[in-house]
Amino acid sequence: MSANLHLRVPNRIEELPGVSEAVEALGREEGWTQDVTYAIVLGLEEVATNVVRHGGSEPGSSEIEIEVTSSDDEVRIEVRDSGKAFDPFHEAPEPDLDAEVQDRQIGGLGVHFVKVLMDETSYSREGGRNHVSMVKRRS
């Protein structure tokens, strides 16, 4: 059995809470654990926020396409956008996790969450669009 969520939203930060709600609703239907739901909602927010902030398009001028497929073993998340080419897994800064409070920088933390919380991540540029793919296993 698998269930699917397919959304197209304008590239605006204000759209993202609605995406989170839709994903949480899918998680309730599919019986995801609290930790799996948190990881997926967080991963999607971090990737989509990067697209809005660093995609180079005026907010609201383009679309982010989101597809979430839940099966018995895993949840697959695909995010596509037509912003400038950007591989978050290799181009985002690495956070210095050992820095003291006063020296600690915040950049790159969102991508770091995605790398740690997801079981698989990949990026490709296809037909002028960025394609971020993430997989979270359910156990």
Which residue ranges make up the site for other proteins (CB under 8 A)?
13-14, 16-17, 20, 34-35, 38-39, 41-42, 45-46, 49, 95, 97-102, 104, 106, 109-110, 112-113, 116-117
If the CB atoms of residues 5 and 41 are measured against other proteins, the closer one turns out to be 41
In degrees and rounded to multiples of 5, residue 12 shows phi and psi of -135, 140
If the CB atoms of residues 115 and 131 are measured against other proteins, the closer one turns out to be 115
Q: Report angle CA 58, 121, 130 to the nearest 5 degrees.
A: 30
Q: How far is the CB of 24 from other proteins (least distance, A)?
A: 9
Sort 43 into a burial class: Cβ within 10 Å, 0-12 / 13-18 / 19+.
buried
CA dihedral 112, 34, 7, 131 (to 10 degrees): 30
If the CB atoms of residues 109 and 135 are measured against other proteins, the closer one turns out to be 109
Q: How far is the CB of 26 from other proteins (least distance, A)?
A: 16
Q: Are strands 120-126 and 2-10 parallel, antiparallel or unpaired?
A: unpaired
If the CB atoms of residues 5 and 40 are measured against other proteins, the closer one turns out to be 40
